[in-house]
Structure 1
Amino acid sequence: MIEFRYIAATIMVLLSLGDITLNGMVISRMFREREGFNKICVNKSVANVHIATAFLIWAAPCAYLNDYYLPQQFNVFFGQIVGWAPYLMSGPFTQISLAVNRAVAISFPYSFNKQHRVPWTNILLGGLWCIAILMSLPAMIDGCSYIFFVDSVSWSPTDTVCSRTLSEYVTNLVLVMAIISFSINVSSIVKIVRSAIGLSAVMDQNVSESRKRKRRKMFIQCVIQDCTHTTDCMLNTYVYTFYAAQWFQFICGAVSALSVTTLDGLLMSIFHQKSTTPSQSRDPPSKSHTISQFRIRAVSRVSTTIMTTTTL
């Protein structure tokens, strides 16, 4: 009978390759785009690729060998990638950034499209990366690490007070930021609905229906991404302690993390394709309206801004 570690290692390799492929597609498609929303998506995908690479070049080979092929310091280093800095950027930091980006685009559509001399999005993302890296430094202390265990074929904190405390801290942070992000997204949905009602008199019916579909997709995407990262953190911190079976530890520690980042890449790829193509072929507002041409153009700009900046 094939040992479980071989099966687990193979699953990690396949999921990691899928993760890198999907998120790599997002990076290649959005890298040169100027919109802040797409820049945030690129940073999210970069973090996802880092996580998948750590699984591919460390966790999977160690599982195949049933041992560590490099000193313990490398186990600690890769643990910072999977459990700390890139994880924070992949999950709570970019999720709340995306939510804020949508909220600003909806609340201030005219100023949002203006060219700014200061690259605020780049500064924000650079600051978040610095914060994520600084937050990961305490885990480099001996006895505070988040590492890969060969026997359970999973990542988890070491059995020390320091490590458990840091892990619980990250979990609470993810939960709080997920609630904030979800609240912002709900507020954005309400504003979009109100705006749609106000613009219905000067919009073509087909365009209005298209906007409704995009709002539903955007809301589903937001909920999925917020919930999956929160669930993954809960599995890695609490649920894995419920059952000591190797396959259960593996699902909570490895399959969960890779599934979330792979799903991220898939969602961003799908929604990016569906948000750009229709926007190029939108039907213009009906000419039968008696409202002035200036008002029609102004309303169209507001509608276009909401559609293109709030849908992934």
Structure 2
Amino acid sequence: MTIDEFLSTGQPSDLVRIVSAILLTIVSVFGSVFNTLVFVSLLLRVKKKDGFLKICCTKSFGNDIVCIGYLFWPIPVTFLNDYFMPHMFNAFMGQLVGWFGWSIGPLSQVLLTSNRVLAVFFPHLYHRTYRFAPSNVGIVICLVLSFLLFIAFFPEDCHYLYSLKDIGWLPEESFCTSVRRSIFIVSMIIIVIITSICGFLLFFRLIADSNTMSTIQSTSRKSKNKKILFQTLTQNFLILLDTLNTTMTYKLFPVLFFQFLTLSFSMVFLRAFEGFIMYAMNERINKGVRALLGYKTTDQLKTLQGAPSMMIWNVSSTSRHMN
């Protein structure tokens, strides 16, 4: 098969299937490693009084479920060209990867934005003593909602299945899935709009606050504020892109390989990329991962773990009462 034939076929072939499986394997391994490193490095610091890092840990947990889930089901199925498990296992993995694991990301993004808004605009509330830490409550609600999405669509004709014919996850054609898809798209767009607006408001507020500091402090603060805005907008863009890819964009391509890229590859690639973004853009997460890999001495690691916890890159010290 020539490259032109490969990129023009709308039917599954052995070559398209194998190439797709190889690409999924590479990006799934990459995403699993990055998100696991972030998750474990943060989990080891769970006793730290830092709501921000706990929410990041939750987000990486959701990303890990997606990346590792691909290694357990879609990739073997695609390589073998065979559903080697019963139909209900396909439905189970679809709910686990496509709903439970996937939905943790957007819900965690809402928690991160809420945490930042509370610290910057309502510091008196942020530093109050709470019987139950707001960040912990938010994480529990996030996980409960994700679990409800996981179990809510197990009835027959409402499953989210991995299709060998399309080399991607697709819902069964039914009234249930049509309603679910509409609610899903609207919800994700609302989340992206609200968190993006909050991101800009935070950026301008923090820039205004930095103008009252010395020149050196102001320059450093503005640089960190730009990172906050960039990370927020990037993660929001990933949520929106993945939502559109898995519901509408893939239908625009008659070529199977391009459908695969937008329908299946996109889901796991964006989870892997988000793990990299958390590592690259957050200095505290970066240090935690490097310490986990042995790039820090024991004394340096103790210093890192004993340092004052920062929720937003030196924007506000995290209160011991928030966690």
For Structure 1 versus Structure 2, the TM-score category normalised by the shorter chain is 0.7 to 0.9
Aligned match of 2:268:
258
The answer (yes or no) to whether the contact 2:42–2:57 under 8 Å persists in 1 is yes
Amino acid in structure 1 at the alignment position of 2:50:
E
1:188 aligns with 2:196: no
Return the match for 2:62 from 24, 47, 60. 47
3-state SS in 2 of match to 1:142: coil
Amino acid in structure 2 at the alignment position of 1:4:
V
Distance 1:226 1:180, change over 3 A: same
1:34 aligns with 2:49: yes
The answer (yes or no) to whether the contact 2:53–2:311 under 8 Å persists in 1 is no
Distance 1:304 1:39, change over 3 A: closer
1:64 aligns with 2:79: yes
**Aligned-partner Cα distance in 1 for 2:189–2:134:** 26
Aligned match of 1:306:
315
Return the match for 1:176 from 190, 196, 204. 190
Aligned match of 2:26:
14
Q: Which residues in structure 2 correspond to 1:93-112 (within 5 Å)?
A: 93-109=107-123, 112=126
**Aligned-partner Cα distance in 2 for 1:138–1:234:** 22
The answer (yes or no) to whether the contact 1:109–1:302 under 8 Å persists in 2 is no
1:229 aligns with 2:233: no
**Aligned-partner Cα distance in 2 for 1:308–1:245:** 52
**Aligned-partner Cα distance in 1 for 2:191–2:279:** 24
Aligned match of 1:78:
93
Distance 1:45 1:302, change over 3 A: closer
Displacement of 1:43: 0.3
Aligned match of 2:224:
214
**Aligned-partner Cα distance in 2 for 1:275–1:256:** 25
**Aligned-partner Cα distance in 1 for 2:177–2:128:** 46
Amino acid in structure 1 at the alignment position of 2:219:
E
Amino acid in structure 1 at the alignment position of 2:36:
G
Q: What are the superposed Cα offsets for residues 248-272 of structure 1, whole Å, 9 maximum, x if unpaired?
A: 2211111111121111110111122
**Aligned-partner Cα distance in 1 for 2:94–2:240:** 19
Aligned match of 2:11:
none
Q: What are the superposed Cα offsets for residues 129-169 of structure 1, whole Å, 9 maximum, x if unpaired?
A: 11122133332111111111011111121222322321222
Distance 1:115 1:30, change over 3 A: farther
Return the match for 2:36 from 21, 24, 27. 24
Higher relative contact order (CA 8 A, sep 6+): 2
Distance 1:117 1:130, change over 3 A: same
Return the match for 2:141 from 109, 114, 127. 127
Identity %: 24
1:3 aligns with 2:18: no
Q: What are the superposed Cα offsets for residues 169-189 of structure 1, whole Å, 9 maximum, x if unpaired?
A: 212111111111111111111
1:165 aligns with 2:179: yes
The answer (yes or no) to whether the contact 1:47–1:86 under 8 Å persists in 2 is yes
Q: What are the superposed Cα offsets for residues 169-226 of structure 1, whole Å, 9 maximum, x if unpaired?
A: 21211111111111111111121122112x22xx3x2221111111111111111100
The answer (yes or no) to whether the contact 1:138–1:144 under 8 Å persists in 2 is no
Alignment: residue pair count: 281
The answer (yes or no) to whether the contact 1:43–1:89 under 8 Å persists in 2 is yes
**Aligned-partner Cα distance in 2 for 1:147–1:269:** 31
Deviating more after overlay: 110-119 vs 245-254: 110-119
The answer (yes or no) to whether the contact 2:311–2:317 under 8 Å persists in 1 is no
- Alignment RMSD: 2.3
Aligned match of 1:249:
259
**Aligned-partner Cα distance in 1 for 2:312–2:21:** 48
Distance 1:256 1:73, change over 3 A: same
Amino acid in structure 1 at the alignment position of 2:239:
H
Aligned match of 2:168:
154
Distance 1:303 1:40, change over 3 A: closer
1:144 aligns with 2:162: no
TM-score, with structure 1 as normaliser: 0.83
Distance 1:303 1:259, change over 3 A: closer
3-state SS in 2 of match to 1:69: coil
Displacement of 1:26: 1.0
- 5+ residue gaps in structure 2? 2-13, 288-309, 319-323
**Aligned-partner Cα distance in 2 for 1:186–1:115:** 29
